[in-house]
Chains A and B, each alone.
Chain A
Amino acid sequence: MPTLSINDLTKRYATGDLAIDQVSLVIPEGQVMALIGPSGAGKSTLIRCVNRLVEPTSGDVLLGDQNITKLGARKLRRARRHIGMIFQEYALVERLTVMENVLSGRLGYVGFWASWLRRFPKQDISDAFTLLDRVGLADMVDKRADELSGGQRQRVGIARALIQNPDLLLVDEPTASLDPKTSRQIMRLITELCRERNLTAVVNIHDVPLAKLFAERVVGLQAGQIVFDGSPEGLSPDVLTRIYGEEDWLATAETGNADMPESEPGVVEADRSL
């Protein structure tokens, strides 16, 4: 599985705003990296430049030896099949069923008529059932997406990204609209699945304690530039000030560094001091 390399990536929007400013990053295979930073730092833009939902202004994005920024429309679609994305506010198609939402992750692999008639290959359907089972939604198959709770929706979002059988997972604020407990469960599920499948993942997250808890590497973005890159333990008050600006970081001290038993969510709950 390939490494993701971002070289001198810059995005200037048509309005003149410089969202990312010559960012370079190498994310080795199987690494779960958290991208933190204040709102407007360019986190969303950065991960959208990877699969070109946003067109970068200059610079390169390489997945393995393929330069994604140089691909034409057809090849870009092929490359996108190998990049799963999980969204803030889930971005499920609300009026489609859970199954249709999950299967939409296979659209890059099936022809138009098969997808129009919802006649997906047997293997895809069986994979969808396995994944829905894995994320705990086995009996929700025919529910419409808008009937689900926030946590359930994000689980569908995860299944949709994973059924693509991606090499790389782009995760944009997966917990932004979830309560603290569900947030942890979702982050735990994402990181577990990444380990199981040896997936490379870039996770945008504004919640520093969560980032510390689940990522092996943290990159701090501020005004489109990388101001921190290291292990979660390195996030000292000084570093947080560099990323987010002046604030009494010790006063909001969290228990993020405490040992978290993965299997006992109840204990995690009790530890929470938010």
Chain B
Amino acid sequence: MTDHVSDGLVEPSQRTWAPPRLIPNARLRWFIALAIGLYLAAAFGTLDINWERVAEGWPRAQRFFSGFVPPDFLSRQGAILDGLLESLWMTAAATALGVLLSIPIAIGGARNASPLPIYMACRAVMALSRTFHEVLIAIFFVKLFGFGPFAGMATLTLATVGFYAKLLAEDIEAIDRSQAEAIRSTGASWLQWLDYAIRPQVRPRAIGLAVYRLDINFRESAIIGIVGAGGIGATLNTAFDRYEFDTAAAILLIIIVIVMAAEYASGAIRRRVQ
């Protein structure tokens, strides 16, 4: 910095400027770049792609996809409908329950709303429920509660808590402090403070996240069914096991349509509550 001050004497045309680097230390910067480069080179080297086998995959894929057409909606009509309805109620119940459980955990996990011990406990719950992917949790719950949608609902509820509580807690921490201060200064109790200062500020995001999670939960319900947690995923898995690719195709199409509809609807709702 002192260099720059004495640089004032340098002729104006001699002055240079370059934007500050992300990593100011040049040696460290080059070391990190080199390390990443070497590791990636080694990784690709280890991959050992067998192009012959890739080429053989092509005709197989063709056979596979030709089994998909035409999709057969009708011969397993009842099973598809049952699986679908099961997925839908599983999704709705898990989202509602998950959001309900999340709200107190989110409040406890917001540093500006709760004392440190409660904060730590709630953050631990969030971290724990986010540690494992839904599929792993589903496998665990299927072992615990047996095959079927109850295991699926438990899985999605737990996953919802990890997602919803964390993001809501972050939104609570990001509120405008002055509004919270103003309500506190009136002599409001803690619960009244939550109701008047916090709730109005986080409501749009709370609704948006719930709708978004509903959308995610439906998609997940199709996946976790494959490991035995009920719903349309289970129906899909059965179809594949029986080599009924035309029925599987029908199920996939239905999932695609519902996911797209849910995504569009959740987007529209989230725009409206902003």
Partner among B182, B187, B200 whose Cβ is within 8 Å of the Cβ of A91? B182
A77 B196 Cβ-Cβ under 8 A: no
Chain A window 139-160, contacts with chain B (Cβ cutoff 8 Å), 1 for yes, 0 for no: 0000000000000000001001
| Distance in Å: Cβ of B202 to nearest Cβ of chain A | 10
Given A93-B201, A95-B203, A104-B196, also A87-B182 (CB < 8 A): yes
B179 A91 Cβ-Cβ under 8 A: yes
Is residue B188 within 8 Å, beta carbon to beta carbon, of the partner chain? Answer: yes
CB neighbours of A85 from chain B (8 A): 182, 185-186
B185 A107 Cβ-Cβ under 8 A: no
A108 B182 Cβ-Cβ under 8 A: no
Within 8 A of A (CB), among B127-183: 176, 178-179, 181-183
CB neighbours of A88 from chain B (8 A): 178
Partner among A95, A96, A100, A105 whose Cβ is within 8 Å of the Cβ of B186? A105
Q: How many residues of A contact B (CB 8 A)?
A: 32
Given A91-B181, A92-B179, A93-B201, also A80-B187 (CB < 8 A): yes
State in angstroms the CA–CA spacing of A53 and B188 once bound together. 13
CB neighbours of B203 from chain A (8 A): 95
State in angstroms the CA–CA spacing of A31 and B172 once bound together. 39
B200 A51 Cβ-Cβ under 8 A: no
The closest CB in chain A to the CB of B188 belongs to A107
State in angstroms the CA–CA spacing of A104 and B180 once bound together. 12
A53 B187 Cβ-Cβ under 8 A: no
Partner among A51, A78, A112, A116 whose Cβ is within 8 Å of the Cβ of B185? A51
Is residue A55 within 8 Å, beta carbon to beta carbon, of the partner chain? Answer: no
CB neighbours of B181 from chain A (8 A): 53, 87, 91
Chain B window 222-260, contacts with chain A (Cβ cutoff 8 Å), 1 for yes, 0 for no: 000000000000000000000000000000000000000
A160 B184 Cβ-Cβ under 8 A: no
Given A53-B181, A93-B179, also A160-B201 (CB < 8 A): no
| Distance in Å: Cβ of B193 to nearest Cβ of chain A | 8
A112 B191 Cβ-Cβ under 8 A: yes
CB neighbours of A51 from chain B (8 A): 185
State in angstroms the CA–CA spacing of A107 and B200 once bound together. 16
A104 B188 Cβ-Cβ under 8 A: yes
Within 8 A of B (CB), among A156-193: 157, 160, 164, 170
B186 A115 Cβ-Cβ under 8 A: no
CB neighbours of A164 from chain B (8 A): 186-187
Given A89-B178, A95-B203, also A81-B197 (CB < 8 A): no
Dominant secondary structure of chain B at its interface with chain A: helix
Is residue B62 within 8 Å, beta carbon to beta carbon, of the partner chain? Answer: no
Is residue A133 within 8 Å, beta carbon to beta carbon, of the partner chain? Answer: no
A91 B189 Cβ-Cβ under 8 A: no
Is residue B192 within 8 Å, beta carbon to beta carbon, of the partner chain? Answer: yes
State in angstroms the CA–CA spacing of A215 and B200 once bound together. 36
B187 A108 Cβ-Cβ under 8 A: yes
Is residue A201 within 8 Å, beta carbon to beta carbon, of the partner chain? Answer: no
Quick one: which of B179, B186, B191, B204 has the most chain A CB within 10 A?
B186
CB neighbours of B186 from chain A (8 A): 80-81, 85, 104-108, 160, 164
State in angstroms the CA–CA spacing of A115 and B184 once bound together. 14
Is residue A83 within 8 Å, beta carbon to beta carbon, of the partner chain? Answer: yes
State in angstroms the CA–CA spacing of A56 and B176 once bound together. 23
Is residue A94 within 8 Å, beta carbon to beta carbon, of the partner chain? Answer: yes
Residues of B within 8 A of A (CB): 176, 178-179, 181-189, 191-192, 195-197, 200-201, 203-204
Having A105-B186, A164-B187, one finds 10 other A-B pairs with CB under 8 Å, namely A53-B181, A80-B186, A81-B187, A85-B186, A91-B182, A96-B200, A107-B189, A115-B188, A160-B186, A164-B186
Residues of A within 8 A of B (CB): 51, 53, 77-81, 83, 85, 87-89, 91-96, 100, 104-109, 112, 115-116, 157, 160, 164, 170
